[in-house]
Amino acid sequence: MRLGLRGQLLVVSSLLLALPFLGLRSAREIEAFLVETQEQGLTSTAKAVATALHERPGIFSTDASTTEAASPAAAELRIETLTAPIVVDGQANDWPAQPGAQSEVTAELAEPPANGSTKFRYRVGRHERSVYVLAEVIDDSVIRHDSEFPRTDASDHVLIAMVTADDEFLRFAIHEAGDGAARVSLAGQDGTNVPDPRVEAALSETDEGYRVEARIPRALMGSRLALGVRDVDDRATRLVVASAGTSGMSRREELGRVFVPSPELAALAQGLGRARSRLWVVDARGRVLARAGSLQGTRAPKAPPTWRQRLVMELRPLYRSILVEPTEDFTDQGPDATRIEGTELTRVLKGESARWRRRTTDGRAAVLSAAEPVWSEGKVVGAVLAEETTNETLAARNRAFERLFFSIALVVVFGALTLLAFATRLSVRIRGLRDAVEKAIDRQGRVKGDVPHSGAGDEIGDLSRSFGSILESQRQYTAYLEGLRSRLSHEIRTPVAVVRSSLDNLRLHDLPAPASIYLDRADEGLARLITVLQRMTEASRLEQTLATTERESFDMARVVTGCVEGYRLANPLRRIDLALEFLNPPMMVMGAPDLVAQLLDKLVENALDFARPDTALDIRLARGLGLALLTVSNDGPLIPEGDADKLFDSMVSVRPADPTGKVHLGLGLTIVRAIGDFHDAPVSALNRRDGSGVTFSVAFPLDRTARPHEAD
Amino acid sequence: MSRRIAIVEDDPSIRQNYRDGLVSQGYEVAAYEDRKRALEAFKTHLPDLALLDIGLGSDVDGGFALCRELRALSATLPIIFLTARDSDFDVVSGLRMGADDYVTKDVSLPHLFARIGALFRRIEASSEPMNAVETLVRGALTLDVARVQASWKGRQADLTLTEFWLVHALAKHPGHVKDRQSLMNAAKLLVDDSTITSHIKRVRRKFEAMDEAFDRIETVYGMGYRWNRESD
pLDDT of residue B117: 85
Mutate to test the interface with B, among A488, A494, A554 (most CBs of B within 10 A): A494
Q: Are residues B169 and B216 in the same domain?
A: yes
- Domains in chain A, please, with CATH? 1-52+314-330+396-440 (no CATH), 64-259 (2.60.40.1190), 459-543 (1.10.287), 549-711 (3.30.565.10)
Residues listed for chain B: 232
**Closest CB to B17 among A502, A534, A537:** A502
What residues make up the domain containing B8?
4-125
Q: Given a cut of 90, is residue A636 above it in pLDDT? A: no
* Candidate from A257-271, A630-644, B72-86, B194-208 with smallest mean pLDDT: A257-271
pLDDT of residue A661: 47
Q: Given a cut of 70, is residue A283 above it in pLDDT? A: yes
Do A88 and A202 touch, CB atoms closer than 8 A?
yes
Q: Do A505 and B24 touch (CB under 8 A)?
A: yes
φ, ψ for residue B230, nearest 5 deg: -55, 130
CATH number at residue B32: 3.40.50.2300
**Closest CB to B106 among A530, A559, A561:** A530
Q: Chain B partners of A505 at a C-beta cutoff of 8 Å?
A: 17, 20-21, 24, 109
For residue A509, what is the nearest residue in chain B, using CA coordinates? B24
Q: Which of B105, B125, B145 is the last residue of a domain?
A: B125
| Segment holding B199, helix H or strand E | helix B193-210
Give domain status of residue B232, yes or no: no
Q: Are residues B99 and B155 in the same domain?
A: no
Q: Given a cut of 70, is residue A649 above it in pLDDT? A: no
Q: Do A541 and B88 touch (CB under 8 A)?
A: yes
Q: Are residues B11 and B119 in the same domain?
A: yes
Closest by Cα among A564, A559, A682, A552 to A627 = A682
**Burial class of residue A405, CB neighbours in 10 A (0-12, 13-18, 19+):** buried
Q: Which residues lie across from B137 on neighbouring strands? A: B142
How far does B44 lie from chain A, in Å, by closest CA? Answer: 30
Q: Do A494 and B21 touch (CB under 8 A)?
A: no
pLDDT mean over A194-206: 86
pLDDT mean over A605-621: 84
Residues listed for chain A: 712
Q: Given a cut of 70, is residue A651 above it in pLDDT? A: no
Q: Are residues B36 and B121 in the same domain?
A: yes
Q: Chain A partners of B20 at a C-beta cutoff of 8 Å?
A: 505
How far does A466 lie from chain B, in Å, by closest CA? Answer: 36
Q: Are residues B151 and B221 in the same domain?
A: yes
CA quadruple A38, A43, A44, A45: dihedral positive or negative? positive
Confidence band for B27, pLDDT divided at 50, 70 and 90: very high
Give domain status of residue B166, yes or no: yes
CB under 8 A, 24+ apart: contacts of A649-652: A649/A443, A649/A444, A649/A445, A650/A444, A650/A445, A650/A539
Q: Could you read off the pLDDT of B100-111 as tens digits, one per residue?
A: 777 877 778 888
Q: Could you read off the pLDDT of A378-391 as tens digits, one per residue?
A: 788 888 888 888 88
Asked whether this complex has an ipTM greater than 0.90, the answer is no
Which pTM was predicted? 0.49
CA distance B13 to B21: 12
For residue A604, what is the nearest residue in chain B, using CA coordinates? B222
Confidence band for A653, pLDDT divided at 50, 70 and 90: low
Confidence band for B8, pLDDT divided at 50, 70 and 90: very high
Give domain status of residue B151, yes or no: yes
pLDDT of residue A65: 41
How many CB contacts within 8 angstroms connect chain A with chain B? 106
3-state class (DSSP) for residue A180: coil
Amino acid type, A675:
I
Q: Given its phi and psi angles, is residue A131 left (phi above 0), alpha (psi -120 to 50 degrees) or beta?
A: beta
Q: Are residues B10 and B29 in the same domain?
A: yes
CA distance B130 to B148: 12
Q: Which of B92, B108, B125 is the last residue of a domain?
A: B125
Q: Given a cut of 80, is residue A654 above it in pLDDT? A: no
pLDDT of residue A453: 76
Q: What is the mean pLDDT of chain A?
A: 77
pLDDT of residue B230: 67
Q: Chain B partners of A501 at a C-beta cutoff of 8 Å?
A: 13-14, 17-18, 21, 109
Q: Could you read off the pLDDT of B130-148 as tens digits, one per residue?
A: 555 578 888 888 888 777 7
Q: Which residues contact A352 (CB under 8 A, 6 or more apart)?
A: A373
Q: Given a cut of 50, is residue A568 above it in pLDDT? A: yes
CA distance B186 to B200: 13
CATH number at residue B188: 1.10.10.10
Q: Given a cut of 50, is residue A186 above it in pLDDT? A: yes
Closest by Cα among A219, A225, A213 to A76 = A225
Q: Give the Cα-Cα-Cα angle A214, A215, A219 (nearest 5 degrees).
A: 145
For residue B18, what is the nearest residue in chain A, using CA coordinates? A501
Q: Are residues B107 and B170 in the same domain?
A: no
pLDDT of residue A434: 86
Q: Are residues B139 and B199 in the same domain?
A: yes
Q: Are residues B63 and B160 in the same domain?
A: no
Q: Do A498 and B21 touch (CB under 8 A)?
A: no
**Closest CB to B87 among A502, A541, A561:** A541
Q: Are residues B178 and B83 in the same domain?
A: no
pLDDT of residue B187: 73
Give domain status of residue B222, yes or no: yes
3-state class (DSSP) for residue A214: strand
**Number of domains chain B is built from:** 2
Q: Do B220 and A530 touch (CB under 8 A)?
A: no
For residue A558, what is the nearest residue in chain B, using CA coordinates? B221
pLDDT mean over A360-375: 82
Do A156 and A210 touch, CB atoms closer than 8 A?
yes
Do A187 and A162 touch, CB atoms closer than 8 A?
no
Give domain status of residue B12, yes or no: yes
Q: Given a cut of 60, is residue A307 above it in pLDDT? A: yes
pLDDT of residue A433: 86
Q: Could you read off the pLDDT of A79-96 as tens digits, one per residue?
A: 777 878 888 888 888 887
Do B32 and B40 touch, CB atoms closer than 8 A?
no
Q: Are residues B205 and B105 in the same domain?
A: no
Rounded percentage of chain A residues whose pLDDT exceeds 90: 0
3-state helix/strand/coil string of A237-299: CCCEEEEEECCCCCCHHHCCEEECCCHHHHHHHHHHCCCCEEEEEEECCCEEEEEECCCCCCC
For residue A537, what is the nearest residue in chain B, using CA coordinates? B87
Q: Which of B80, B107, B125 is the last residue of a domain?
A: B125
Give domain status of residue B159, yes or no: yes
Q: Given a cut of 70, is residue A620 above it in pLDDT? A: yes
Confidence band for A70, pLDDT divided at 50, 70 and 90: very low
Q: Given a cut of 70, is residue A443 above it in pLDDT? A: no
More confident residue, A601 or A535: A601
Closest by Cα among A266, A277, A296 to A368 = A277
Q: Are residues B22 and B54 in the same domain?
A: yes
Rounded percentage of chain B residues whose pLDDT exceeds 70: 88
Q: Could you read off the pLDDT of A669-698 as tens digits, one per residue?
A: 778 888 888 888 888 888 888 888 888 889
Give domain status of residue B175, yes or no: yes
Q: Given a cut of 60, is residue A116 above it in pLDDT? A: no
Q: What is the mean pLDDT of chain B?
A: 81
Q: Do A493 and B105 touch (CB under 8 A)?
A: yes
**Closest CB to B192 among A534, A560, A563:** A534
